[in-house]
DNA sequence: ATAGTATATGAGTATTTAGTCATACACAGT
DNA sequence: ACTGTGTATGACTAAATACTCATATACTAT
């Protein structure tokens, strides 16, 4: 998210869209799932999700700027954690919809 | 969402991301809000949101393909409606996060 | 100071996205 | 058949996205 000074007129709609966009990506969903059990540093995350360190760092920055992550520096390492439990609820709801659609399509395919 | 035949191996993660991406856009959020009170045709939606008919139609197609909308044809008009109540829950949760972030930033700015 | 480790970021690329304008398509009424 | 209305879509553009490689930055330990 951009600095406040440049975006004082940004409305809740745009803000909500930015938050959702920060979640709506497979790699970032994987990271969110990883963070479900608490904070992790980049060095733990990027091997776990099978992406480059730089790519992982960028995704974390995206989520950090959107406001859905916290950052904690400890020496060399930087630990990220989920800032809002609502994010997990959103992921869960999206999973419900996805599962429902998947079974519907499977049924349609079987006909 | 792409036709099933070409995507049998698509996993829930990708599916969830697609659903969330279909929601995570300001214009589409406006449309979703409009559909909160029931089905509307394109001819009602595009003047309400202040976008072109073609643009509105494209957004509706995006959401339809992702599986979050229903479509009902009635003569010339095509009515769209929300297919999953969970979509409204997701929008509400995103709004909570956005509101929280907005007040945090306002406070930080006031310091 | 030097070397090593963890993270962020500049620069580049390929793809996707949101939008526009013009046009095609589908259905209704005459 | 013709006209009009509602919707979808082809073609295009500008901007954003996800990714890579290389490099810079920040901190630690020796």
Q: What is the pLDDT of residue A3?
A: 39
- Reported ipTM: 0.91
* Structure confidence at residue A50 as a pLDDT band (50, 70, 90): very high
Residue B3 falls inside a structural domain: no
Assess if residue B4 is contained within a domain: no
| Cα–Cα distances in angstroms (integers) from residue B68 to residues A51, A89, B88, in the given order | 30, 17, 10
Q: What is the pLDDT of residue A102?
A: 85
Most B-contacting residue of A24, A29, A30, A94 (CB-CB within 10 A), to test interface: A94
Q: Given CB atoms, is A18 within the 8 Å cutoff of chain B? A: yes
- Domain presence at residue A3: no
A1 domain-assigned: no
| Separation of alpha carbons A97 and B106, rounded Å | 34
Q: Quick check: is B1 in a domain?
A: no
> Has residue A2 been placed in a domain?
no
C-alpha gyration radius of chain B: 16
pLDDT at B78: 98
Range of the domain at A87: 10-110
Whether A72 is covered by a domain: the verdict is yes
Quick: pLDDT tens for A63-88: 999 999 999 999 999 999 999 999 99
| A51 in contact with B, Cβ within 8 Å | no
Burial of B47 (0-12, 13-18, 19+ CB in 10 A): exposed
Q: How many domains is chain B built from?
A: 1
Query: Can you state the angle between helices A26-35 and A12-23, rounded to 10 degrees?
Result: 80
What pLDDT is attached to residue B105? 73
Q: What is the CATH number of the domain that holds A48?
A: 1.10.10.10
For residue A5, is it within any domain?
no
Question: Among all strands, which nt has the closest C1' to A58 (CA)?
Answer: C8
């Amino acid at each position: 998210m951009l600095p406040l000074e440049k975006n004082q007129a940004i409305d809740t709609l745009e803000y909500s869209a930015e938050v959702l966009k920060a979640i709506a990506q497979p790699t970032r969903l994987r990271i969110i799932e990883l963070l479900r059990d608490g904070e992790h540093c980049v060095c733990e995350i990027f091997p776990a999700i099978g992406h480059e360190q730089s790519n992982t760092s960028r995704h974390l920055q995206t989520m950090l700027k959107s406001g859905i992550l916290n950052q904690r520096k400890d020496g060399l390492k930087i630990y990220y954690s989920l800032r809002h439990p609502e994010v997990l609820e959103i992921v869960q709801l999206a999973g419900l919809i996805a599962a429902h659609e998947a079974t519907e399509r499977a049924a349609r395919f079987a006909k």
